[in-house]
Amino acid sequence: MDVTDLTLIELRDAIARRDCAAAEAARACLDRIEAVDPGLHAFLQVFRDEALARAESIDARLSAEGAGAVGPLAGVPIAIKDNLCLDYGRTTCGSRILENYESPYTATCVQRLLDAGAVIVGKTNLDEFAMGSSTEHSAFGPTRNPWDRQRAPGGSSGGSAAAVAARLTPGALGSDTGGSIRQPAAHCGVVGLKPTYGRVSRWGLVAFASSFDQVGPFGRTVADAALLCEALCGPDPLDSTSAEVEPPALLATLERPIDGLRLGIPAQARSGGVDPDVSAAFAAACSVYESLGATLVLIDLPNLEYGIAAYYIIAPAEASTNLARYDGIRYGRRARLEPGEDLETLYRRSRGEGFGAEVKRRIMLGTYALSAGYYDAYYKKAQQARRVIKGDFDRALDEEGLHAVFLPTAPGPAFKLGAKTADPLAMYLEDFFTVAANLAGLPAVSFPIGLAQADGSALPVGGQLVARAFDEMTLLRAARMHEAATDWHTQKPPA
């Protein structure tokens, strides 16, 4: 049995049956990371000693108490994005300004994984402070796509997506501010879930844009993502934005098809700006749903096109505020001062040396949008657009009696490393189909729907479902219907 080729659910069950020891699973993943990751750079830190010690302790508990007493993730190796706090190792956010920061506490969502019996094997690479769509903006170098190592894995959670796709771990956590789970999931051929805003605690997630950020899982199947999501969800008194909603039982109903499934297909999903191979894969996915008895309803989301503009005003504005704390005084990188230089010089030099170009760009954009004379023209107007976009989704879902809206995850397949770094606008447009769910606070999932061909490489294509707030159950059941009827989720990158 090749442990690393098992899905998260399969590995969980094998450990519970004692067909595979937790220590054996951890060692297999750690050995594969050691062998494969130098060519991918999915991980920033690997916790070999800590992971093996924890796995061995879980084996002892499994022998003494049984799987039910340990938790639903007993012994399963998981990777976490390096903007999630952990009370050992470092929490760098992919930034020089935090490269030596050691968190004194563990994020609530990570603690919930640990409480469920998971084994944390390491922390994954990301665009600096989660600001990017390619994982090229990491201060510690880019992550490469396992399907074609000359291409980006998407971002900002590209390290987590690449780790799951390359079979380095069966599951991982990421964060999604404007598509940072779903877009890399699409480019790497895995499942990525952004839960409803407030469904998962943000306490211990280093903030980028506080009204958008949401933690979510990656897995190779919809069931993998559902199991991880169940472990993550629930109210948290430490997070004032955490919803007082009990965790959903997602796995219990996952295999139950939705009778009379109605999916909305936006006109924008069929626009000329979508890559032909993505369009073909999306059309084929629609046909699969029709063959399963679903009704496809053509809808219009008339303000979807304003999503990018609204997002790239509001999110940088929130980033400008959140990142003001990194001043070289309280924590983070502190620049060296020469005799006679003042405090302002220290601030300027510390932030200048610590932040990368994309983070600086977004801080400046956000500060400008919040400045006197421009607040009403930009920030206030963007917030109004945000409400209108949410209204478009609410009307489409309610008036048409839809279970979900279906659209591509990204307008094209994975692009080559360096292809968009010189053109920020081209990079921002990668988020065209994903930012709306964040603006509206709705749950969304990306799952594999096909393969595109580019320069001799087969590249994954993702489809995205968006559902009503706190209706992850319907969302995942609808995604599972497509997955059960196809084999795209079984495809794997070349060895």
Residue 369 has pLDDT above 80, yes or no: yes
Q: What integer pLDDT is reported at residue 160 of this predicted model?
A: 98
Rg, C-alpha atoms of the chain: 21
What domains sit in the chain, N to C, each tagged with a CATH number?
A: 3-259+414-490 (3.90.1300.10)
Q: What integer pLDDT is reported at residue 68 of this predicted model?
A: 82
**Is the CB of residue 101 less than 8 Å from the CB of residue 92?**
yes
Q: What integer pLDDT is reported at residue 297 of this predicted model?
A: 97
Q: Which residues of 354-377 are buried (b: 16+ CB within 10 A; e: fewer)?
A: bbbebbeebbebbbebbeeeeeee
Q: What integer pLDDT is reported at residue 138 of this predicted model?
A: 98
Residue 331 has pLDDT above 80, yes or no: no
Selection from 488, 436, 471 nearest residue 258 by Cα: 471
Task: Please write the tens of the pLDDT for every residue from 12-37.
Answer: 999 999 999 999 999 999 999 999 99
- Please give the distance of CA 474 from its chain centroid, rounded to a whole number: 20
Residue partners of 324: CB distance under 8 A and separation at least 6: none
Tokens 């003494």 correspond to 64
Residue 340 has pLDDT above 90, yes or no: no
Looking at the DSSP assignment, which residues form a beta bridge with residue 43?
124
Task: Express as a percent the part of the chain with pLDDT over 90.
Answer: 92
Degrees, nearest 5: CA angle 337-343-347: 80
Average pLDDT over residues 133-141: 98
Task: Please write the tens of the pLDDT for every residue from 165-178.
Answer: 999 999 999 999 99
Residue 116 has pLDDT above 80, yes or no: yes
Average pLDDT over residues 109-124: 98
Q: What integer pLDDT is reported at residue 329 of this predicted model?
A: 85
Q: Round to whole Å and give the CA distance between 389 and 338.
A: 51
Residue partners of 369: CB distance under 8 A and separation at least 6: 313, 316, 317, 375, 378, 379, 382
Task: Express as a percent the part of the chain with pLDDT over 70.
Answer: 100
Selection from 325, 348, 310, 344 nearest residue 439 by Cα: 310
**Is the CB of residue 170 less than 8 Å from the CB of residue 7?**
yes
Q: Round to whole Å and give the CA distance between 486 and 375.
A: 49
Confidence of residue 66 (pLDDT cuts 50, 70, 90): confident
Average pLDDT over residues 404-416: 97
Catalytic residues: 81, 156, 180
Residue 271 has pLDDT above 80, yes or no: no
Average pLDDT over residues 284-311: 97
Q: What is the token pair recorded at 475?
A: 């969302």
Selection from 307, 269, 306, 305 nearest residue 435 by Cα: 307
Q: What integer pLDDT is reported at residue 1 of this predicted model?
A: 75
